[in-house]
Structure 1
Amino acid sequence: MFESTRQAITAFMEESGKSQRQLSKEIGLPTSVISQFLNSTYPGDNQEVAKTIEQYLSVSKERLNIVSGINFYPDLYNTKETLFCCYYSHRHNDISLISGDAGAGKTTALQYYADTHTGVIFVTANAYITTATAILGLICKKLGRQVPGRRAALMNTLVEQLSGANRLIIIDEADHLSLDALQAVRNLNDEAHCGIVLSGNDKIYRQMLSPRWGYEFEQIRTRIIVRKKVYNEYTEKELETIFPGLNQACIGYLLKLACAESLRTARKLYEVAAEVAAAQKQALAVKHLRDTQKQLLGEVMG
């Protein structure tokens, strides 16, 4: 009775490379239920399981058909500036800062470095990870170590693990960190001599450069020799490499959007517009980009 659903989810697993464990996380069903359903041995409500799986497939199949066509461009100016911070801090076991406009490609470049180099610990601060204990605990978890309850013990664990290891810690969204957290990161660099890259928006840059923030930030600022800033400013050549195969009109449209909004916005708009064009069996044109922008952002550029 449910053979078509079993065949559909099996085919999806083969096409996507997802395991039953991964499907369990995404669908919200226990791995044992999925396994028993596939083997026709589930004693519970098979009708409900089949319905849940079919609902999952209705969206997930579409994800497999999303048109990408976006290249990672290591020679993008913003990418080169970000990677320089990583290379410098990793090689010299020092602290560097990369800051600037949101959506300018910092995180993409940082992730690229982490994916292509060994010994890199990549963590992201957020509205809930702001304190010294929170960020040090997150680093400790990434190292696969049990997180001690007391901050002094936590720092000792990290220093013991990182000393002499020539590791690099990348902290994205570091503008969320409190002064106390930034001081703890500085102490970790002092004691373990590990490289650290702080990445964030202009807030963290302003705090470290402005005298009004006081002596504490001055102590952190003077430890950071490499301070890079990136902006949502791009060239036509860069966009041609990021979005290969597009005509000049589309490149011009995306260039204007990337500079006015962000490269992230241009990428997202392109992905959706390309999907629409593919569904219509048409080559991507400015009309698709304009219609998609109006639909997603509620406005179009003049």
Structure 2
Amino acid sequence: MKFTQHYSELQQKQVAILNAEIELFDINPTEYCLGWPLDQVNTILNGESPINPKKVLDKLWEHFFADFDAENFGTDSAISNTYSEDDKLVLARIKKRMQDKEFRGQGVTSSSIASRLRKTTGMVSQLLNGKYAANPSKYLHEVWAMLEPAGLDEKTEEPKQVSDIKPIRIRYGEVPFVHTSVPNLIKMACEQARDRRRIAVFAGQAGLGKTKGIERYCDDHDDALLIYGSEETASTQVLESLAIQLGIGKASNYKRLQKIINALKDSERLIILDEADKCRPNALDPLRTISDQARVGVVLVGNIKLIDKLQSEERYELISSRVCFWPSPVGELPVTDIKTLFFELTQNTIQVAEDNEKWWQWLHKRVEGNARMLVENLLPHLLTHIRKNPNKKVDRLMVNSIFSAILNKPTI
């Protein structure tokens, strides 16, 4: 933005901050004009004032940030140098919020905030006075989340839904498939096992979308035999599941095993065991025998502890020696996957305040690189909040508010 010569350096900074607040919180002109003509106020906020804009700017600043001194954003700030510009902005919002009418008389003080943060009153006083010597970002966001929890805005009304447009809803069991790096790795494991007629292993942290990737592969390859493992899955349950899928009737485990081997022999089919880490130790024994005698591939998919079992427990030595594909376990999704999931599952209906690499890296850290934490924990609340506040953009404050106030997780 270009400014006329009537703006000081500090006033230019004030204009930038005020414009960002108006855009972020979708402030109605009637709220920020404060009785002045809209054209006059917009001229000042556009950097085009023909005179010194101090009078109007100071009133606007007071309206948005109460008595938080704009000089704190200058080079000679009284605020500790451990506070970034973003920290100062959060602090200014907190100061203003604590002076709002709905908080007066409600006992929102340094002491009550300290109690909720489980910190000392002195520490919180330093934090809110801009004197905290360490990095204050985490605690400032936690305080803001207390004062401005997402989804509880009193001034915002639920917009009327257009009758033929259903709101986006994300809930367990109905989440559509989104192509990420995990299905690619699972497909590679399946192809290696099928081609080599041996065992492939894919392990990763919980919540990465492994089961979704397996089910997608089976949708595309209807000759694959999928077994859903659990804590109750032993060799009998494995044989029973395969027998049902192959149309083999009731029989003893031995006879079932022989019939399964005969049905699969040299068929190029594939057996996939999901949640293999949860299964009882003998669950893998018939899969090893079937793979050997029928010459078909087997894929074992599970949590990180599946690797520990196969590598350290004597019982699993006969399995691990037959593994032909064994990539390193996946701990987190890459940043690009988090971004893809975010936009595809919200159908591009949510705008982010800063669509840049720094923001997506922060969100990736916030959800711990985990699809489940993003998809099942964060996104449903974001969609609800944005449905009530359609012009708001998602930023760190909003996300941290959800994690702190709704999901009982610390802010970052």
**Structure 2 residue aligned with 1:266, among 365, 374, 386?**
374
1:301 corresponds in structure 2 to 411
Of 128, 143, 146 in structure 1, the residue corresponding to residue 232 of structure 2 is: 128
Equivalent position SS for 1:254: helix
The question of whether the paired residues in 2 share the 8 Å contact of 1:96 and 1:198 is answered with yes
Alignment RMSD (CA, Å): 2.6
Task: Pick the aligned partner of 1:242 from 327, 332, 341.
Answer: 341
Q: Which residue of 1 aligns with 2:286?
A: 184
Q: Does 1:80 align with 2:184?
A: yes
Kindly tell me the number of residue pairs found equivalent between the two proteins.
231
Q: Would the alpha carbon gap of residues 67 and 175 (structure 1) be closer, same or farther in structure 2, given more than 3 Å must change?
A: same
Q: Please, which runs of 5 or more residues in structure 2 have no aligned partner?
A: 1-165
Mapping 1:180-259, distance limit 5 Å: 180-210=282-312, 213-214=313-314, 216-244=315-343, 245=348, 246-247=351-352, 248=355, 251-259=360-368
Q: Which runs of 5+ in 1 are unaligned?
A: 1-63
Q: How far does residue 118 in structure 1 lie from its aligned partner after superposition?
A: 2.8
| In 2: Cα distance, 1:241 partner to 1:118 partner | 27
- Given that residues 272 and 299 in structure 2 are in contact (C-alpha distance below 8 angstroms), is that contact kept between their aligned partners in structure 1? yes
Q: What amino acid does structure 1 have at the position aligned with 2:208?
A: A
The alpha-carbon deviation at position 226 of structure 1 amounts to 0.9
Mapped pair 1:292 → 2:402: yes
Pick closer, same or farther for the CA change 1:254–1:122 going to 2, 3 Å: farther
Q: Does structure 2 retain, via aligned residues, the 8 Å contact 1:276–1:288?
A: no
For residues 191 and 258 of structure 1, the distance between their equivalents in structure 2, rounded to whole angstroms, comes to 44
Identity within the alignment, %: 21
Which residue matches 1:158?
Answer: 260
1:90 correspondence with 2:189: no
Aligned letter for 2:411? M
Which of 386, 400, 411 does residue 277 from structure 1 map onto? 386
Tell me the residue number matched to 1:109. Answer: 213
Which is greater in Rg?
Answer: 2
For normalisation by structure 2, the TM-score amounts to 0.51
* Alignment partners' CA distance in 1, 2:363 and 2:309: 33
Is 1:277–1:283's contact at 8 Å kept on the other side of the alignment?
yes
Supply the distance in 1 between the matched residues of 2:195 and 2:391 (Cα, whole angstroms). 48
* Displacement after TM superposition at 1:143 (Å): 3.0
**Distance between the aligned counterparts of 2:178 and 2:293, measured in 1?**
36
Relative to structure 1, the CA distance from residue 142 to residue 71 in structure 2 (aligned partners, 3 Å threshold; closer, same or farther) is: closer
Task: Report if aligned partners of 2:192, 2:324 keep a CA contact under 8 Å in 1.
Answer: no
CA shift for structure 1 position 285: 1.3
Structure ranking higher in helix proportion: 1
> Residue 173 of structure 1: CA displacement?
0.3
